[in-house]
Amino acid sequence: MSAHSSRSAGAGRRAAIAVVLVVLLSPFLWLLQMSFKSNDLILQFPPPLIFTPTLENYTSLWHGAFSASFINSLLSASFSTGFALLFGIPAAYALSRWTGSGRQALGFAILVTRMAPPIAFTIPFFLFYRWIGLLDTITGLVLVYTSFNLPLVIWMMQPFFETVPRSLEEAALVDGAGIRTVFVEIVLPMVTPGIAATAILCFLYAWNDFFFALILTRTNARTAPVAVVNFMNYEGWEWGKIAAGGSLVMAPVLIFSLAVRRYLVSGLTAGAVKG
């Protein structure tokens, strides 16, 4: 064996990777194929390798109450992402130019808000919402998701701002430009890829949430993940529709997360390690 071959993929290794990939993804593929089958076909074993896919699960799901939940999810995830970016980006910039102490403490606070079990926040939030009448509203959800995405924005945007050369800013400042102008017209355009990645991660966190939505919503503001579960519990075992619901909930996630896979690790670990 030459020294080089340990790093290049041989045919054996490729085959092994392909087999492992198929085995690992088979539960996911099982859900996907089931969403295109009629209920009779789902119960048929051995499963036919070739069948005529049907969209009836999707269409009947969409004409029911599910579409409203899907829109609720879309609204709460989008608005909370927007607000989190609005507050978080200037804060991240200020912190990246911060020379004093307190950064460590803030980093720790951010880590804890990400790591703490959601129930620690749901009990106070639930009681507070019940008191001021925000239970089962989109506003309530947007508020929760914004506050949990804010630490993520602050954490993820700092390294991007650090890559902007300070000499650029200083030159503009000496020329008499205000710091707000420098921030908006010079710094921000240089970190747009970072903003895009951060925005997608925020959207995914809000979209994927189940626990907050389960407790803070009932019917009006019910999100898509909760709707899928309700469907499972109350409307009988219509497996095709359940599979279609699951597929619809995961569709945006798959598309977006593959786009930002480079940043997934640092987002997931809240930056405590360099991904």
Q: Is 43 in the site for other proteins (CB under 8 A)?
A: yes
- Interface residues for other proteins in 159-178 (CB under 8 A)? 173-174, 178
What does each C-alpha distance from 106 to 103, 113, 123, 147, 152 come to in angstroms? 5, 11, 24, 15, 12
- Interface residues for other proteins in 3-32 (CB under 8 A)? 3, 6-9, 13-14, 16-18, 20-21, 24-25, 27-28, 30-31
Query: With CB under 8 A, what is the number of residues at the site for other proteins?
Result: 97
- Pick the closer one to other proteins by CB: 30 or 51: 30
Exactly one of 56, 62, 97, 162 binds other proteins (CB under 8 A); that residue is 97
- Interface residues for other proteins in 209-228 (CB under 8 A)? 210-211, 214-215, 225, 228
Other Cβ atoms closer than 10 A to 4: 7
Which residue in 150, 144, 145 sits closest to 89, CA to CA? 150
Where does residue 136 fall: left (phi above 0), alpha (psi -120 to 50 degrees), or beta otherwise? left
Which residue in 70, 50, 48, 47 sits closest to 58, CA to CA? 70
Exactly one of 156, 202, 204, 221 binds other proteins (CB under 8 A); that residue is 204
Exactly one of 55, 71, 127, 168 binds other proteins (CB under 8 A); that residue is 127
Residues counted in the chain: 275
Q: Is 189 in the site for other proteins (CB under 8 A)?
A: no
Buried b (16+ CB within 10 A) or exposed e, 52-75: eeeeebbeebeeeebeebbebbbe
Q: Is 154 in the site for other proteins (CB under 8 A)?
A: yes
Q: Is 90 in the site for other proteins (CB under 8 A)?
A: yes
Q: Is 265 in the site for other proteins (CB under 8 A)?
A: yes
